Amino acid sequence: MPIPRYKLFTPADAARVSKLQLTARQVVEGVITGLHKSPHRGFSVEFSEHREYVPGDELRHLDWRAFARSDRYYIKLYEQETNLRATIVLDTSASMRFANKLDYAKHLAACLAYLLAMQQDLAGLVAADESVRVELPPASSPAHLDRLFKALESIEPANSTQLVQHLHSLSDRLARRSLVILLSDLWIDEREFVQALQHLRYRKHQVMVLHLLDQQELELPWTRQITLEDLESGEKLQVDPRELRESYRQQVEQYLGAIRRGCNDCDAEYDAQMIDVPYSKALIELLSKRK
């Protein structure tokens, strides 16, 4: 697939991504033969189980060894493989302006969409804050990928977030078993977030959470009095980091622990991604870990 000039995806990105592979960890539903396990059985790929022969079955699928052992006819059943429907959910709330997290997330989203398309999988995009700014249903054609890249380029951060509500809504709108890839800083209520994950899993969707973090927000490293601003509410607070650092670190670690446990309890993949790691390297490391 030729790569036109995009701000968020370069020919160098294409060269790196083309060597990678993203597979589903659970069964998915699709419309063409691909890399991922389907919930439907067929006569291809990997052996699953036997069933008794019934008139009309193709004789080439008879298991003659089973017949020799039992003197009964059995048909070999195989697990079909299929394509994956993935929806990339991009948090575009104002807090994503911090340390240019949104730009980092957009680069990652572009690479993931290209990788999925190269596998003949379907990639969709949802960009949401207070409202859904962009929603492209999953597809894999060059024209769709072009629309997705251009939509990413046009996205700007907004104000507050309603990410949890949008995840609940998305749970019901996705018609098939899908992979939902969330790119967010996750500065939201962790209990409400876990409830959204539970809803997604109840609807049989797989979830991959890429938690974008910057070292400054983990460490509070400044050595003199500073003014902190809530990027979503505009509220400002003057603090001395030296007095707050230890208790701040403890609270952040408690929050991150709650997020990790919530993802684990909901069978959602969780990856804390430090944004000082180049996005191409981060993607390679993520997919290597999944193998």
Domain boundaries, the chain: 11-26+84-290, 36-82
Confidence at residue 104, expressed as pLDDT on a 0 to 100 scale: 97
CATH code for the part of the protein at 11-26+84-290:
3.40.50.410
Confidence at residue 1, expressed as pLDDT on a 0 to 100 scale: 54
Confidence at residue 90, expressed as pLDDT on a 0 to 100 scale: 98
Matching residue, tokens 């990788």: 115
Confidence at residue 64, expressed as pLDDT on a 0 to 100 scale: 84
186/199 Cα distance (integer angstroms): 17
Confidence at residue 74, expressed as pLDDT on a 0 to 100 scale: 78
Residues 91 and 183: beta-carbon distance below 8 Å = yes
Q: What is the mean pLDDT of each run of 10 residues along the chain (291 residues)?
A: 78 88 62 44 52 74 82 71 84 95 97 92 94 93 94 92 95 88 96 97 95 95 92 91 94 96 96 95 89 68
